[in-house]
Amino acid sequence: MANSLQSEQLAGGGPVGQFGAIVIGAGVSGLYQLHRLRQLGLSVRCLEDGRGVGGTWYWNRYPGCRFDSESETYGYSFSKELLQEWDWKEHYSGQPENERYLNYVADKFDLRRDIQFDSRVTSAVYDARANRWEVQLESGQRMRTQFLVAAVGILSARYIPPFEGIDSFKGASYHTSRWPKEEIDLTGKRVAVIGTGATAVQLIPIIAKKVGHLTVFQRTPNYCAPLRNSLVDAETQRRFKATYPEIHKKCRETPAAFIHEFDPRCALEVSPEERLALYEELWARPGFSKWLANFRDIMTDRAANEDFAEFVRNKIRARVKDPVVAEKLVPKDHPFGSKRVPLETEYYEAYNRDNVLLVDVRETPIERITSKGIKTSDREYEFDVIIYATGFDAITGALTRIDIRGEGGQTLKDKWANGLRTYLGLQTAGFPNFFIATNSAFCNYTVCAEMLVEWISECIRYIREQGYSRIAPTPQAEEAWVAHAAEMASQTLLSDAKSWFVGANIPGKARTLLLYANTAPAYRAKCAEVATRGYEGFVLQ
Ligand code: NA7
């Protein structure tokens, strides 16, 4: 019976809940996955580490956290009713509103009754004889399921560098992705921020205005571009609601599933004056237009990329008063867009404030955390608060931190020790009925997440209707996909920086491009084609 929790007593253990499907994570992907699997009549349990829904938008509560995607493209597209009911207040909606939205979705589709909160999954072990996954929580609770879907997010396994003395600090420390619910009063405090990625770039200008003094420890400067957020007026709201089919159609057609479309010309084909005119126009526009509406070879041609990179460098120089500080903020060691482009609001102006200091840790590396603050090779800085904006063990981290064991006891961690190995990003050989519902294509998150969730749901429906009980990719199909993904990666500049895109931010992590570097339409077409051909490349039993 759908949604009923049956229990059985297993030898040597407590009661074990039996489910048709278990979804790990109640974020953007997990909520929709739960909804779709329930529609198949399966008994589904969604296990969520947090105390509420939202995933990324539940955990990342730091001041300034917001979308870089246009709000109207980030919301789910699957329900016309939901689209008409929800009003986006800002063009790039902030975390509190995004969390409210996902709570609204959970309530509207009555999802909460199948979500178990405060439930951290520690292991998932495949029992080949029974064709069941046994899932264990930190609490010791165990459950069994035929289908296991990991909707764990691509940026959820937080990373804190193993600085010596990290526990000796007597003040307060926070990682941006585990920001407390209750407001932290930073007024007048001496605050450190370590990191200058997309998160820090959102956070810094907001807290700079509150703190007594802010010291930013930067290892690599980024090419940050203006977000240009604004309120959604009533007329625009009406337009969104009237044109959602067109908005979604456009997102399904563009390479990265945004409303932005690349300029069909190559950068160096046009005159310097024409190039500059486009750059200035893009700069004045909101969102990722500077990246995704640029000349079409911006991410494939080094010279084209460098031309725009220099434009951005000069924009940075023009905004920072002290030329020495400005030069430290100017990226020179990687192509534009080879790291995620942070979108900012008054980020560079923060460094013009008297109470903000930039420390370049390439010049003076952090040696240790002390009881009072941070010791670099140069001096000791004293703080009341240290904020780690040091990112995530992206894409694979949230999966390999769970002890996932497939056929023959093989762990996912071992299998992926030399890099990510999947077929279509959806399954991995040797782990039957285990699906990955987190979008790792280079794609506006929700757009591709919806596609993956629908693909997985349709696949499970097919398996059940056709009288099969399990599915896993063949090693050959997986090998071919890994080779194809590497070939796609080699055609872009996305692998050219030491970023989370390639696992370079985590010491010891294998270097492979973790994002699928083909266009989102091509990815969707490939997944659809595989399904149409009776799940080509998979073994169904
Ligand atoms: P990111 O983009 O991975 O940024 C992490 C930052 O932390 C980055 O500036 C790192 O410098 C810095 N970092 C990491 N380790 C260290 C050490 N050991 N010392 C000094 N500085 C360090 O994470 P975010 O949270 O900002 O953004 C992640 C994504 O979330 C983002 O792309 C959006 O999609 C949303 P580095 O650049 O590695 O030299």
Tens digits of residue pLDDT in 452-469: 999 999 999 999 999 999
- The percent of residues above 70 in pLDDT, for the chain, comes to 97
Q: Is 391 a pocket residue for ligand 1 (Cβ < 6 Å)? A: yes
From 196, 361, 498, 515, give the residue whose CB has the most ligand 1 atoms within 8 Å, as the site to mutate.
Answer: 196
- For 24-40, the pLDDT digits (tens) are 999 999 999 999 999 99
Q: Which is nearest to 157 in space by CA: 57, 65, 59?
A: 59
Give the distance (Å) from ligand 1 centre to CA of residue 160: 10
Strand partners, 23: 46, 149
Q: Is 390 a pocket residue for ligand 1 (Cβ < 6 Å)? A: yes
- Residue 498 CA: nearest ligand 1 atom is 38
pLDDT in the model for residue 496 = 86
> What CA–CA distance (Å, rounded) separates 221 from 198?
11
**CB proximity list for 201: less than 8 A, separation 6 or greater:** 222, 224, 342, 343, 344, 347
pLDDT in the model for residue 221 = 98
Q: Is 315 a pocket residue for ligand 1 (Cβ < 6 Å)? A: no
pLDDT in the model for residue 11 = 37
Q: With 90 as the cut, is the pLDDT of residue 13 above it?
A: no
* For residues 173-187, average pLDDT: 96
- Residue 390 CA: nearest ligand 1 atom is 7
Q: Which residue owns the Cα nearest ligand 1 atom 29?
A: 198
pTM of the model: 0.95
pLDDT in the model for residue 4 = 35
- For 129-149, the pLDDT digits (tens) are 999 999 999 999 999 999 999
- For 153-172, the pLDDT digits (tens) are 999 999 999 999 999 999 99
Give the distance (Å) from ligand 1 centre to CA of residue 348: 17
> What CA–CA distance (Å, rounded) separates 77 from 66?
19
From 98, 156, 390, 511, give the residue whose CB has the most ligand 1 atoms within 8 Å, as the site to mutate.
Answer: 390
Q: Are 193 and 215 in contact (CB under 8 A)?
A: yes
From 216, 505, 506, 514, give the residue whose CB has the most ligand 1 atoms within 8 Å, as the site to mutate.
Answer: 505
Here the tokens at position 306 are 């460098």
Q: With 80 as the cut, is the pLDDT of residue 5 above it?
A: no
Q: Is 389 a pocket residue for ligand 1 (Cβ < 6 Å)? A: yes
Q: Are 376 and 383 in contact (CB under 8 A)?
A: no
Q: With 60 as the cut, is the pLDDT of residue 511 above it?
A: yes
For residue 224, what pLDDT band results from cuts at 50, 70 and 90? very high
Distance (Å) of CA 74 to CA 6, 92, 100, 127, 454: 37, 9, 14, 38, 17
Q: Mind giving me the DSSP string for 224-277?
A: -EE----BPPHHHHHHHHHHHHHHHHHHHHSTTSSS---BSS-GGGS-HHHHHH
- Residue 499 CA: nearest ligand 1 atom is 38
pLDDT in the model for residue 439 = 83
Give the distance (Å) from ligand 1 centre to CA of residue 505: 7
Q: Which residue owns the Cα nearest ligand 1 atom 10?
A: 195
Pairing of strands 132-137, 121-127: antiparallel
pLDDT in the model for residue 14 = 56
> What CA–CA distance (Å, rounded) separates 444 from 449?
9
Q: Is 386 a pocket residue for ligand 1 (Cβ < 6 Å)? A: no
> What CA–CA distance (Å, rounded) separates 233 from 166?
47
From 340, 358, 515, give the residue whose CB has the most ligand 1 atoms within 8 Å, as the site to mutate.
Answer: 340
- For 253-306, the pLDDT digits (tens) are 999 999 999 999 999 999 999 999 999 999 999 999 999 999 999 999 999 999
For the chain, give the mean pLDDT.
95
Give the distance (Å) from ligand 1 centre to CA of residue 390: 4
Q: With 80 as the cut, is the pLDDT of residue 410 above it?
A: yes
pLDDT in the model for residue 156 = 96
pLDDT in the model for residue 2 = 33
Dihedral of CA 289/395/93/391: which sign? Answer: negative
Q: With 50 as the cut, is the pLDDT of residue 8 above it?
A: no
Q: Mind giving me the DSSP string for 357-395?
A: EEEETTTS-EEEE-SSEEEESS-EEE-SEEEE---B-TT
Q: Is 374 a pocket residue for ligand 1 (Cβ < 6 Å)? A: no
Here the tokens at position 483 are 């080779």
